[in-house]
Structure 1
Amino acid sequence: MSDVTVAERAGDRLSGSATGSEDVVLVLPNAVAVLDGATSLRPGARTGGWYAARLAAALEPRLARPEADLAALLAESIAAVAAEFDLHPGSSPSSTASLLRWDDEQVEALVLADSPIVLDAVGGPVAVVDEQLDALRAGAPRAGAGGYRDRLRSGGGFGAGHRAALNSAMDRTSRWRNVEGGFWVAEAVPEAAEHAVRARVPRAEVTAALVMTDGVSCGVRDYGIYPDFPAMLAAAVRDGPQAVLDEVRAAEESDPDGVRWPRSKRHDDQAMALVRLAERPPPGGTSGSGLGKKDLCT
């Protein structure tokens, strides 16, 4: 038996053409997909949210095929959306893609770009984290990420000047999308799926899993609300996913101008899926929850 609880909340809109959240969560009887459409500052019908919704629709029948390899079905889905809507590399909207699938034998996780998955496993927690964008940002000014962040640190705020600085950073970062030495993401290049981070754990050893967009993972990676992903998962299991979203949003509201935590938006879209796969061992058992153990990035 499995139980899936989803929590979502829209963030700020940087483009007047988009309404609601650009995050998409797909829930199937034996799988979950979480997609984060990339924000664009250029108004248009084909936003990151538009793309994420179409990719989710393409993934739905393919994820239902238990024999299909996760990377292969993601590549098929990327190719199908590109063909149906005549999308081309470099000019297509894009999205992260995080897939979790389970059966009686195993739990599989795949992460492409910055929407992490964390598994509560008997042998120790497993965090599936794609760090390509982190590496790219560490190479600023090549990635163009320093300008708007430095501006926010100095008190520039999220007004028109921020949009201009962010637009410049996005333009420079986009040149490194789906190229060697850059970062890989779902867009119009099916081969991007081959660069995803993956993990496979026996089903009997996994009690819960958390799949999230970076509007939630920032609670660990940027704000330090939780010391690591296992601690965030423990909080979600204990208090529910919505409570985790509330904590992240409260941290952002305490820093309304992005001085403490420079970021692209005051509030990003948030999406999280908590999957409970099994009951925990009874009190006094030897295996415990595993949530206190060291985080493992696969």
Structure 2
Amino acid sequence: MRVAIDTQPGGAAPNEDWVACTPTLAIVLDGLSTAGLDTGCRHGVPWYVAHLGSQLIAGLAGPDTSLTVGLAGALERVAALHPACDLDNPGTPSATVAILRERQGFLDHLILADSPIVLEGAREFTVLTDLRVDDVLPELRTEVERYETHTAEHRAALRRLVTAQRQTRNTSTGYWVAASSAEAAAHAVVGSTPTEDVRAAAVLSDGVSRLVTEYGMATWSEVFATLRGGGPQDLIAAVRRVEASDPTGRRWPRYKSSDDASVAFCQWR
């Protein structure tokens, strides 16, 4: 498996995405927004995704460890790295997870929350994702999207949404993300696809996939053509051009003008 990667922040704030690869593994993590609220942790989201990603790479180095077990172990080890922090705080640093691994003629995938993996087959594209978050608090999401970004009303609505989301994360009535408890791994979306059925694959944060899913400014076929022609950097640049044409979110209401964006593009000879 040959993998090309890139990650870029959405603005001046530190990048809360993380991406890495090995010859058999591609991982994208997307840190969840804190909206300026207390997290109970002195380290922050960039620290969390960097350490979770590193632990995943180490824990999944061998092909015999399942992705679920690997994620659970990584979550436990990261929690052990900052025991003085309040890991029971509902806003403790957290992230979405998307993992693709090549193993003995199959591509195993694990997805926790809305960072998708897109598989290019001979005739169609398959989007693997976990959209349970979309079913939670739709009225508060609509309120955020009512206001233009960079306004006081938008910031206040976003804080209300994030505050409410924290109470539903990693609960049976909400949605699941990587945070401080290994239990979340058991709720991930997992599966396998024969490698022979896949021409290429893209592991994405939603800061990139929205070019298709939210903005509607490209098809998956066009996304993969861009990845083959100019790589992940060109694809992220295409997202930024679209966002720059609507800086305050009038045409495409959203949580922020530009989100952190990460891509791992996988190909086989």
Q: State the TM-score, normalizing by the size of structure 2.
A: 0.91
The corresponding residue for 1:282 is none
Quick one: which of 217, 228, 247 aligns to 1:256? 247
The corresponding residue for 1:6 is 5
The corresponding residue for 2:60 is 63
Kept in 1: contact 2:91–2:166 (CA 8 A):
no
Quick one: which of 16, 20, 24 aligns to 1:26? 20
Give me the whole-angstrom Cα distance separating, in 1, the residues matched to 2:46 and 2:114. Answer: 16
Q: Secondary structure at the residue paired with 2:98?
A: strand
The corresponding residue for 2:29 is 35
- 1:82 maps to a residue whose letter is A
Structure 1 residues 85 and 60, CA, compared in 2 at 3 Å: closer, same or farther? Answer: same
Structure 1 residues 66 and 242, CA, compared in 2 at 3 Å: closer, same or farther? Answer: same
Kept in 1: contact 2:3–2:23 (CA 8 A):
no
Stretches of structure 2 that go unaligned for 5 or more consecutive residues are none
Moved runs in structure 1, 4+ residues, more than 3 A?
A: 42-45
Give me the whole-angstrom Cα distance separating, in 2, the residues matched to 1:185 and 1:159. Answer: 28
Kept in 1: contact 2:100–2:108 (CA 8 A):
yes
Q: Secondary structure at the residue paired with 2:263?
A: strand
Give me the whole-angstrom Cα distance separating, in 2, the residues matched to 1:89 and 1:192. Answer: 16
Is residue 100 from structure 1 mapped to residue 111 from structure 2 by the alignment? Answer: no
More deviation in 42-51 or 236-245? 42-51
Kept in 2: contact 1:10–1:268 (CA 8 A):
yes
Quick one: which of 132, 144, 150 aligns to 1:148? 144
| Cα shift at 1:231 | 4.2
Kept in 1: contact 2:112–2:189 (CA 8 A):
yes
RMSD: 1.9
| Cα shift at 1:89 | 5.7
Is residue 244 from structure 1 mapped to residue 264 from structure 2 by the alignment? Answer: no
The corresponding residue for 2:76 is 79
Residues 165-206 of structure 1: CA deviation (Å, up to 9, x unaligned): 211111011111001121100001212112212231112222
Larger radius of gyration: 1
Quick one: which of 172, 177, 197 aligns to 2:169? 177
Kept in 2: contact 1:39–1:47 (CA 8 A):
no
Give me the whole-angstrom Cα distance separating, in 1, the residues matched to 2:189 and 2:252. Answer: 27
Give me the whole-angstrom Cα distance separating, in 1, the residues matched to 2:42 and 2:155. Answer: 20
Quick one: which of 192, 200, 221 aligns to 2:184? 192
Give me the whole-angstrom Cα distance separating, in 2, the residues matched to 1:109 and 1:121. Answer: 16
| Cα shift at 1:149 | 1.0
- 2:24 maps to a residue whose letter is N
Residues 17-68 of structure 1: CA deviation (Å, up to 9, x unaligned): xx43111112122101110111211377432222111101211211101100
What is the aligned length?
A: 263
The corresponding residue for 1:47 is 44
Give me the whole-angstrom Cα distance separating, in 1, the residues matched to 2:62 and 2:264. Answer: 21
Q: State the TM-score, normalizing by the size of structure 1.
A: 0.82
Residues 73-114 of structure 1: CA deviation (Å, up to 9, x unaligned): 101111211122122362421011111100341111111111
Give me the whole-angstrom Cα distance separating, in 2, the residues matched to 1:205 and 1:110. Answer: 18
Kept in 1: contact 2:5–2:20 (CA 8 A):
no
The corresponding residue for 1:203 is 195
Stretches of structure 1 that go unaligned for 5 or more consecutive residues are 14-18, 279-298
The corresponding residue for 1:292 is none
